Structure 1
Amino acid sequence: MKKALKITGIVFGGFIALFIIVAIIAINDDGPGTKVPSPKVVESAAKPEVIKEEQPVVEKEEPKNIFKFGEEVPFESGLNVKTINVTKTAERNQFEDPTKYVLVVNIELTNTTGAEMYISSYDFNVQDKDGFQGKPYAGGDQSVSIAPNGKARVNFQFAIDGEGPYKVLGGVATWQ
């Protein structure tokens, strides 16, 4: 008997829940064919006033990692780099692939730390006017070891087929 009462209670509870759900739906439904009123357009004889906001003049800033040839750039590593200039050379290495141009990048390096630093031409690159990069070329200086608190001047060479003006890329800095 208790089992029958339990089942009856569950069924009765289900009917009550169903009745509540149907009632909520019926209250929120306006019935079939009910249209939502369209917004009314109020016409005015006066023309709308156009308000112009004054735009502040923003001067274009040069990116902070672009430098001119001759500017010295300090790096977090303690190396200061000054790209002096870029020149073309007719010098060719017979063991290298043929290239249209060989560029010589004259760089001054300053070690501001108390430890020796090793820098190679692979730490730098060149870029032509169209954004194509060159590659280190076997000529000139290939690498240099800089004594603690010492300086060095190197001539790294790069092969490139594109025309200038050229940029020198070194870490996050660019000289042009």
Structure 2
Amino acid sequence: LISRRFDWRRLFPMLVETAALSGAILLIIGTATGMAWGLTQSGFSRSLAAAMTGLPGGAATFIAVSILAFTILGSVLEGIPAIVLFGPLLFPIARAVGVHEVHYAMVIILAMGIGLFAPPFGVGYYAACAIGRVDPAEGIRPIWGYLLALLVGLIIVAIFPWISIGFL
């Protein structure tokens, strides 16, 4: 605008492209929010908390099942609705079995990060494909290395709690 080299004819196509991309992302987020509402209304969160309370094996089993649960939940829900739905139910259980709250928070955030980009349901994966204008079938191959790195990091943090709580 300052040097007067802006081509005003490009403004309308840019606005249309921005609106289409925003609409695709909002559709994905809206669907995930609807899924969160459906899970809340069905009583699934209470059933999950009741099942996890009765797990044998103590803290290690609780962490392993939490990783599996939040990986699956992270693939169909956004992170904030998943934590709002299941955090108040599962954090007291984690404390009761002897898992530190900060360590548990780190583990579930990493697990949801894996689920967010895990095919075939990963909400973040489809949003990233929409932003990058990549067909999801083409983007699946490069994402496996990223998911493997996240999984290794999650396992290390889950096994060694001092990584997340060592400096508290």
State the TM-score bracket (shorter-chain normalisation): under 0.3
Question: What is the TM-score of this pair, normalised by structure 2?
Answer: 0.20
Q: Select the structure of larger CA radius of gyration.
A: 1
Q: Which has the higher strand share?
A: 1
Question: What is the TM-score of this pair, normalised by structure 1?
Answer: 0.20
Q: Which has the higher helix share?
A: 2
